[in-house]
């Protein structure tokens, strides 16, 4: 049984509006988009006599078992979870930035809500006195959506390999099981077959993931090169030998960082080439200090170009940033833009 749930985990990890009519006006739950509400699970039915897609059925069964038993204590609405999965599948979008945001939010749920409850339970706190899993800031609907989208992205990744109807069949079968002891009595595959197909599923997920990564590398590289070429033509923009583009927006003093070990205090805003802000000290309401040898190469070089009290904009090629690996919402081979105010230079010596 442990092996089965481990296989499920591998697969799972690989991958405010208002509603109105003429009579009433009801506030829509901000965490449940209209597109999710409109999903009809009954549209996903296996045709009578259809040959089983064992891999698709296994994926669905794994997801259903995870929801049924792995998340059972959270009392997740399984129908809503399925709707989020299918909504993600129907939209067919694999966005690196959205995935990173969902992963970050799931981590926040874990550290702020689930772990404190687990520790209290471990320390002998009576059940009725345990901290709640959910509250106004961390709602069950949001958590359901986060997990549904993460699961749904696996379906999107495997869209050309699986029959979604069989995925839904597997989920429904697994969700209907009442006890882990009788788990395989309610599935159309034996435990051995499910384990075998889980292995095949993991192989396909890995292969499709590698293909997606290769495609993103090529697409982002081309788009970033085009964007940087356009930036280079802008007035006031200069280019260093390394390929770093920069513009001095406000002249600072003659005090500059000169060594990689120098420590600088800055305020900054980081953007993707799409204009999306992915990091900002302004939003956090406080500056940050760090040694120049502890950041990406584009920062190490760029922060030596502006004086204390000045402001600089950096356009950093991926080779001087996060390269092919990317970082969170930053995709592979992504060029970046930073607006930086150099508050103070504090040389190590």
Task: List, for residues 29-68, the tens digit of each pLDDT value.
Answer: 889 999 999 999 999 999 999 999 999 999 999 999 999 9
Residues 177/68, Cβ–Cβ less than 8 Å: yes
What does the pLDDT read at residue 328? Answer: 82
Reference 12, options 87, 106, 93; nearest CA is: 106
Closest CA to 341 of 315, 310, 300: 310
Please, what is the average pLDDT of the chain? 89
**Selection from 270, 307, 268 nearest residue 290 by Cα:** 268
| pLDDT value of position 282 | 95
**How far is residue 303 from each of residues 275, 310, 339, 341, measured CA to CA in Å?**
22, 10, 11, 9
pLDDT-derived band of residue 347, with 50, 70 and 90 as boundaries? low
Residue 18 pLDDT > 70, yes or no?
A: no
pLDDT of residue 65: 94
> pLDDT at residue 22 above 80?
no
Residue 15 pLDDT > 70: no
Report the pLDDT value the prediction gives residue 348, as an integer from 0 to 100. Answer: 57
Strands 238-239, 25-27: pairing is: unpaired
Least confident segment among 18-22, 82-86, 104-108, 257-261? 18-22
CATH topology (fold) of 234-346: Chitinase A; domain 3 (3.10.50)
First to last CA, the chain: 58
- Bigger pLDDT: 90 vs 98: 90
For position 91, what pLDDT does the model report?
95
Q: In terms of residues, how long is the chain?
A: 349
17-23: long-range contacts at Cβ-Cβ below 8 A with a sequence spacing of 24 or more?
none
**What span, in angstroms and rounded, lies between the C-alpha atoms of 264 and 128?**
50
Percent of the chain with pLDDT over 90: 74
* Residue 86's pLDDT band (cuts 50, 70, 90): very high
Residue pair 4/194 in contact (Cβ under 8 Å)? The answer is yes
Residue 1 C-beta-side C-alpha neighbours within 13 Å: 10
pLDDT of residue 6: 36
**Nearest to residue 93, comparing CAs of 153, 178, 139?**
153
Helix (H) / strand (E) containing 230? helix 191-232
Query: Where residue 1 falls among pLDDT bands split at 50, 70, 90?
Result: very low
d(CA 93, CA 335): 21
What pLDDT score does 39 carry? 96
Q: Would you state the pLDDT for residue 73?
A: 87
- The pLDDT tens digits of the residues spanning 161-220 come to 999 999 999 999 999 999 988 888 889 999 999 999 999 999 999 999 999 989 989 999
Burial class of residue 315 in the structure, from the number of CB atoms within 10 Å of its CB (0-12 exposed, 13-18 middle, 19+ buried): buried
Domain residues of the chain, as ranges? 2-215, 234-346
For the segment 118-161, what is each residue's pLDDT rounded down to a tens digit?
A: 898 888 999 888 888 999 999 999 999 999 999 999 999 999 99
The predicted pLDDT at position 151 comes to: 95
Q: How far is it, in rounded angstroms, from Cα 170 to Cα 55? A: 10
């Amino acid at each position: 049984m442990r092996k089965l749930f481990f296989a499920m985990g591998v697969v799972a990890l690989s991958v405010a509006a208002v509603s109105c009519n003429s009579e009433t006006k009801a506030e829509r739950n901000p965490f449940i988009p209209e597109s999710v509400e409109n999903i009809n699970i009954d549209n996903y039915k296996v045709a009578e006599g259809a040959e089983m897609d064992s891999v698709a059925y296994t994926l669905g069964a794994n997801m259903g078992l995870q929801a049924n038993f792995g998340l059972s204590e959270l009392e997740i609405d399984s129908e809503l979870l399925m709707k989020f999965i299918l909504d993600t599948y129907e939209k067919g979008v694999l966005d690196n930035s959205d995935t990173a945001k969902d992963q970050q939010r799931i981590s926040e749920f874990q550290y702020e809500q689930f772990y404190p409850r687990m520790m209290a339970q471990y320390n002998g706190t009576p059940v009725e006195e345990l901290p709640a899993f959910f509250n106004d800031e961390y709602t069950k609907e949001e958590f359901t959506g986060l997990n549904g989208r993460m699961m749904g992205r696996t379906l999107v990744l495997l869209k050309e390999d699986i029959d979604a109807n069989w995925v839904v069949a597997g989920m429904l079968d697994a969700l209907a099981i009442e006890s882990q002891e009788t788990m395989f009595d309610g599935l159309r595959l034996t435990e051995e077959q499910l384990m075998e197909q889980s292995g095949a599923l993991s192989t396909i997920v890995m292969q499709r993931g590698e293909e997606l990564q290769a495609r993103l590398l090529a697409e982002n590289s081309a788009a970033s090169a085009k964007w940087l070429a356009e930036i280079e033509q802008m007035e006031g923009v200069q280019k260093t030998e390394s390929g770093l583009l920069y513009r001095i927006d406000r002249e600072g003093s003659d005090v500059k960082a000169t060594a990689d070990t120098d420590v600088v205090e800055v305020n900054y805003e980081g953007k993707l080439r799409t204009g999306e802000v992915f990091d900002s000290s302004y939003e956090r309401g406080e500056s940050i200090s760090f040694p120049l040898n502890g950041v990406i190469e584009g920062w190490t070089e760029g922060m030596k170009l502006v004086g204390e009290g000045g402001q600089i904009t950096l356009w950093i090629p991926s080779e001087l940033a996060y390269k092919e690996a990317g970082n969170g919402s930053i995709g592979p081979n992504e060029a970046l833009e930073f607006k930086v105010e150099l508050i103070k230079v504090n040389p190590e010596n």
